[in-house]
Chain A
Amino acid sequence: MKLRLHIWKQRDAATDGRFESYDVNHLTPDMSFLEMLDELNEGLITAGREPVAFDHDCREGICGSCSLVIDGIPHGPRRATTTCQLYLREFADGAEIRIEPWRVGAFPVVRDLVVDRSACDRILQAGGFISAHTGAAPDGNTLLVPREIADEAFLSATCIGCGACAAACPNASASLFVAAKISHLGLLPQGRPERNARARTMLAQMDVEGFGFCSNHRECEAVCPKEITIDRIARMNRDLYRSLIFPRRGSPS
C-alpha cells in the first residue's frame, strides 16, 4: 500500500512550524505506524535530507514516549491504543494522513513531532508519591488491601504519562494524568496519610505549568490509551475540596 503524509516540521520552540508532504510507497498493512515513519526516514537520510523527529522507545505501548496526533486525534483512530501499537491495517490504501505533535502550551515543541513533557514530571515531584523511606517498610501483608480497592488503584496506576489527555483537552488540562496518580495513591491505605496535601500540591503545580482545568469535556477519556476514566477526576476534586476543609496533611476519611 501507499500513503501521502502531511507532517508537522518545526525546528524548535522558537521557530514557526509548517506542514510538509511526503509520499511513502511499498508499505504493507502489517507494518506499524512508526515502522512506516522509519521507512520514510531511512529514505530521507539516504537522500541526505533531514528525517522527521518523533519520540518513541519501547514500541509496545507502555513507556509513554510516542506522542503523535494523527488526523486530529492523539494516538490516532484506534481506541485504547498508543501510536506505537497502531498498524497500517487501520488505514486505507492511498489515504492522506496528517501528523502533528501534541498541541499543548505546557508542552513546548522540541523538534518536529517531539515535545517537552517535563511539566508532567514536575507535577509528580510536587506530591505524586508516598513518603516511604527505603528499609522502613513493614511486611507486605501487614495492611490488607481488599481486592476491589487494589484493582481500582492498579487501573489508575496504569497511566503511562504520555500526555494524550492534555493534548485532547480543549482546556489543555492535565487533569486526567494528575487524577490518575492521586487516585492510585489515595485509594491504597499506604497513601492515605498524605492524601489531602497531595491533591493540593499537585494541582497547584499543574496550574503553575500552565495547564487548564477540567470542565468535563471527556475528550481525555476518549483518547487515553490505558482507558483511564474520568471518575478519577471526581475523586481528585473530592480530595482537593477536603484538603481545603482539613488543610493539615493527615485526613479524617
Chain B
Amino acid sequence: MIGELHANEPSGPLEDRWNRHRFDMALVNPANRRKHTVIVVGTGLAGAAAAATLGELGYRVKSFCFQDSPRRAHSIAAQGGINAAKNYQNDGDSVWRLFYDTIKGGDFRSRESNVYRLAEISANIIDQAVAQGVPFAREYSGLLANRSFGGAQVARTFYARGQTGQQLLLGACQALNRQVAAGAVDLYPRTEMLELIRIDGRARGIVTRNLVDGTLAAHTADCVVLCTGGYGNAYYLSTNAQGCNTSAIWRAWRHGALFANPCFTQIHPTCIPQSGSYQSKLTLMSESLRNDGRVWAPLQAADSQRDPAELAEERRDYFLERRYPAFGNLVPRDIASRAAKEICDAGRGVGPEINGQRLGVYMDFSEALDQLGESEIRERYGNLFEMYERITGENPYRSPMRIYPAIHYTMGGLWVDYNLMSTIDGLFAAGECNFSDHGANRLGASALMQGLADGYFILPGSIGDYLARHAPERIAPEHAAVTDALAAVGSRIERLLHAPQAKHPPEYFHRRLGQLLWDHCGMSRDPAGLRHALVELPRLREEFWREVRVTGSGTEFNQVLERAGRIADFLELGELMCRDALERNESCGSHARTDHLTVEGEVSRDDVNYSHVAAWEYRGADREPKLHREQLHFEFVHPSVRSYK
C-alpha cells in the first residue's frame, strides 16, 4: 500500500535547506486564507502555538482540548528549560553544536535535516517567548540567564525557575487567547477527539465527544493537525498527567498513518520513587538538580537500609562520577537511568521495600549546600525541594533526596515527513505526538524547543504550502464518511458501556498493562520477555473488552467512560511497542536490549542493519502490522559510539 518512505527533505548544504525550503513553499493569498479551515487537536506547546499562529495568519482555526482550559495541557508541567543556540555565554555554542549534540544524544536515529532546522529555529523561539512576556530567569544586568542541562557541556538552556513549561505554555496560550478574542480561533475545551474523518484519502475532519454532556459531533476542515502529546501513560505509572493519552494518534494509525519507532520511550532518571501500590503517578524532579546534586548509592548492599547520614564517604558509591568521569552526574537520561537500575537490581537500592526491591538511589545536595549556601540552593531549586518535601514528608535540605527513573517522554509517534505531514494526506502531527527530531533518546530541554519550533515556525509554513495546493471545499454533514465516523464512535462507546461480564474498573486493566510494559518494554528489554508480553497483551485486551465495568451512560459527564476509551487504545499500542522493540535487534539510546549491550553494559548500535526509522502500518485487526523503513542518511555527521566517559 505504502511504497518507500520519502521524507521530502530538501537537499544541498545543510545550513541552506530550511531557508531554501521556505522559499520553495507555496503561499496562500492573505485574502483567501479565511476560506480555509484548520483543525488543531491539543493545546500544549505545539498545539497552542500552531493554533495561535495560524489564526494570526488569517486561517479559520478550530482548537480542541480535553482539559477544561487550554492552559492545562501537560506541557505546563515541564520543569527544566528550553535549549537555544544563542551562544549568549560565549562558551562555544552554535547552531551546528546544538544540532550535533541533539543528533548524538538521539544516538544517531534521527534525520539530519530536521534536527538542523530545529537547532536553527531555536533562537527565534526565545525571542518570540520574550516578546510575549515569558519571564525567563535574568542576570542582575537584565540579560537573559542560562544554565547547562542534562547532557550538554555548554550553557544554552533558558529557564524560569523549575516552571519553564508553565511559562512557555502560558505565553502560547496568551497568543491563542488573543486570536480567540479576534475571532480567528474557535476554542473547544472539554472536547475529546475520538475519530478521524478521511475522505478520498485526505484527512478532512474529526469526530469529537463533548465531555460535559456526551454529545458527539463531526467537525470538518481542509486539514487536520494533531498536537496531542506522548503516550507514556501506556505504562500506567509515568510522569505524565492523568489524562495524557494516545487516542488521537491511535485513531490516525488505524486509518493508515504510519507509527514510527513506538518502542523509543524515555525513562527519566530523577523521579520521586514509588511509595506504595496505590500510587497513581510518579513525580519528576527536574534534572537541572543534577547540576548540583551528586548521585550515589551505598557501596555495600548491607548498608542500603541505614540512615544515609551514617554512611561515610568511603562507604558511598558515586556511580555516575565513577563510571563517566567526563560528564559525571550530567550524562544523558538513558545512561543515568540504566545505571540507577543496575544499582538497584544488585540490591544496593534505598528507600521502602516494594515487592522485595528497594527502588531508589540518593541525590545528595550536601556539598552544594556547603559551597553555595542554603539561600542560593533555595533560589535555584526552591520549588522542587518543596515539592519533594510535600510528597515524601522528608526535608531534602537536611537529608539526601531519593530518586528513581520513571517513564517520562515518548520519542516515537506518528511518522511525519520534513513538512510534519503524516502518511495520510492533510494530516499533520507536531510536538511529542510525532516521532521526529529526538531519535532514540531526547536530550533535556529539547522537548519544549521542538514543540514550539513545530507550532510557531514549521507548521504555519507547511500548512500554507498544503492549503495553497488544495482549494477550500465544504464537506456536507450527510457525507457518508462523516456519518460512518460518527456511527463508529457511537458503537464503540456502546461496547465500552456494555461489556458482557462487566466487573473490573478500567484502572484494573491499565495497571496490569503498565506492569507488563514496564517489565518487558521498559528500561531494558530482552526477546524472551517481549515475546511473553506479545502473548499476554492480546489476552489482556480480550479480558478488558469482556470484563471492563463502565458506570453511567454515554450521554452525560462520565470520567469512567473517558478513561476506559483511552485504556482500550493503550492496550493496542502496547502491543505495537513490544513488536517494535523485538524487531529492533540492537540497542540504541533509550532502547536497551540486554542481548545487545557491550561488555561494560553500554548500548551497542547496529548501524549496518538498523540505521533506519521503523514505521508500522495498520492492516486490520486480524493481520499483523507491516513494517516500513525510512533509511537514515548521515551526510554531515559521522555516527560514532556515544561515549560520555
Cβ A137 vs Cβ B549 within 8 A? no
Query: A30-B275, A137-B128, A140-B126 in contact; A154/B68 too (CB < 8 A)?
Result: no
Closest to A78 in B: B390
How many pairs, one residue from A and one from B, have CB atoms within 8 Å of each other in the complex? Answer: 223
Q: Please measure, in the bound complex, the distance between the C-alpha atom of A41 and the C-alpha atom of B506, giving whole angstroms.
A: 11
In the complex, whether B443 has a CB less than 8 A from a CB of chain A is: no
Flag if A129 contacts B560 (CB, 8 Å): no
Task: Report if A63-B143 is in contact (Cβ < 8 Å); known contacts: A45-B560, A124-B177, A140-B126.
Answer: no
Interface pair B505/A41, CB less than 8 Å apart = yes
Contact of A150 among B135, B275, B507, B559 (CB under 8 A): B135
Residues of A within 8 A of B135 (CB): 145, 150-151, 153-154, 157, 184, 188
Using CB atoms, name the residue of chain A closest to B212. A110
* A158 in contact (CB, < 8 A): yes
Q: Among A81, A118, A129, point to the contact of B68 (Cβ < 8 A).
A: A118
CA of A12 to CA of B457, assembled, Å = 42
Task: Tell me whether B243 is interfacial, beta carbon within 8 Å.
Answer: yes
When C-beta atoms are compared, the residue in chain A nearest to B165 turns out to be: A62
Q: Does B166 contact A (CB under 8 A)?
A: yes
Task: List residues of B (258-305) whose CB comes within 8 Å of A's CBs.
Answer: 275-276, 278-281, 283-284
Which partner residue on chain B sits nearest A61 by CB separation? B387
A42 with B126, Cβ < 8 A, contacts A140-B86, A154-B161 known: no
Establish whether residues B505 and A42, one from each chain, have CB atoms under 8 Å apart when the complex forms. Answer: yes
**B477 in the interface (beta carbon within 8 A):** no
Assess the B387–A85 pair: CB atoms within 8 A: yes
> Is there contact, CB below 8 Å, between A28 and B67?
no
Chain B residues with CB under 8 A of A87:
390-391, 393
Looking at A46-54, A92-100, A164-172, A229-237, the stretch in contact with chain B turns out to be A46-54
Interface size range of chain A in the complex: 35 or more
Beyond A124-B174, A128-B177, A134-B128, is A161–B69 a contact (Cβ under 8 Å)? Answer: yes
Residue of B nearest to A36 (CB): B278
Chain A residue nearest in CB terms to B139: A147
Does any Cβ of B come within 8 Å of A196's Cβ? Answer: no
Per a CB cutoff under 8 Å, which of A121, A143, A157 touches B189?
A121
Least distance between A85 CB and chain B CB atoms (Å)? 5
**Contact check: which of B127, B160, B387 meets A139 at CB < 8 Å?**
B127
Check A137 against B387 for contact (C-beta < 8 Å): no
Are A137 and B175 in contact (CB-based, < 8 A)?
no
Query: Are A130 and B133 in contact (CB-based, < 8 A)?
Result: yes
Q: Which of B72-80, B326-334, B491-499, B571-579 contacts A (4 or more CB under 8 A)?
A: B72-80
User: By the criterion CB–CB under 8 Å, are B280 and A134 in contact?
Assistant: no
A35 touches B (CB below 8 Å) = yes
- Known: A65-B68, A85-B390, A140-B127. Contact between A157 and B170, CB under 8 A? yes
Q: Are B280 and A53 in contact (CB under 8 A)?
A: no
> Does B52 count as interface, using CB distance less than 8 angstroms?
yes
A60 is an interface residue with CB less than 8 A from chain B: yes
CB-contact partner of B130 in A30, A44, A140, A157, under 8 A: A140
User: CB of A64 within 8 A of chain B?
Assistant: yes
Check if B142 is an interface residue, CB within 8 A of chain A. yes
Provide the bound-state CA to CA distance between A9 and B52, in Å: 38
Q: Say if the beta carbon of A131 comes within 8 Å of chain B.
A: yes
Q: Whose C-beta in chain A lies nearest to the C-beta of B173?
A: A124
Is residue B141 contacting chain A, with contact meaning CB distance below 8 A? yes
**A1 interface hit (Cβ, 8 Å):** no
A2 contacts the other chain (CB 8 A): no
Q: Is the CB of A129 within 8 A of B552?
A: no
Q: Measured between alpha carbons, how far is A62 from B386 in the docked complex, in Å?
A: 13
Contact residue among B130, B139, B505 (Cβ-Cβ distance under 8 Å from A137): B130
In the complex formed, the residue of A with least CB distance to B142 is A144
The answer to whether A137 and B390 have CB atoms under 8 Å apart is no
Residues of A with C-beta under 8 A to B128: 132, 134-135, 137
Contact sample, A vs B, 13 pairs, CB 8 Å cutoff:
A44-B551, A58-B241, A59-B241, A63-B77, A80-B386, A85-B390, A121-B70, A121-B189, A131-B178, A136-B131, A138-B127, A147-B140, A150-B138
Chain A to chain B: the 3 pairs with minimum beta-carbon distance, closest first? A144-B142, A129-B174, A137-B131
